[in-house]
Amino acid sequence: MQLCAALFTVLVVLSTCDAQGLGLWCYKCVSTHPGCGSRFDWRWYWSYTCPGPNDKCVKIIERKGAEEIITRDCLSSVQAIRRDIPADVYEGCRPAAKDVKLAQYVFNDIDELDIRRNYYDNTTFCFCDFDHFCNSVSKPATSIFITIAMFLCVTFSSFQH
């Protein structure tokens, strides 16, 4: 019975400590910040837990000539402000999607507003959620741990009686 109590205590501690690992961890920064450009320095930035259940880390690379802007964020955060996200968000890099309805009925003479989002020559989206370089954390299987612990407790208690 002491083994059962010790096993249950260990499982409770593990489930409490593993609560931070419920989501995917990504960096949030823009290349105009120091250390967030093409040579990323992870020591400058904290990782953030993505809010979505099936979230992915996104790296957006926008190029115009020699200028390059890199944005790192969670996919669920970017979806609210970007309409050029590719339909296929599986692991890897893809060019931005074209939105033919964007600024369709807008007649604007101010080029700096970039309402058609055609300022950059090349926009690439890179998605990742499988490797540790994306700061992904495996999803805890706490319910499986507790189920196995209860099974072992019942098994050991039946052998002792």
Q: What is the pTM of this model?
A: 0.64
Per-10-residue mean pLDDT, the chain, length 161: 59 48 80 89 86 89 92 93 90 88 74 73 89 42 55 65 61
Q: Three-state DSSP class for 136?
A: coil
Residue extents of the structural domains in the chain: 23-138
State the DSSP string of 33-47. Answer: STTBSSSB-GGG--E
pLDDT per position as a tens digit, 144-155: 555 665 666 567
Q: Three-state DSSP class for 118?
A: coil
Domain 23-138 = CATH 2.20.25: no
Instruction: Give Cα 92 distance to the centre of its chain.
Output: 13
The pLDDT score that the predictor gives to residue 70 is 93
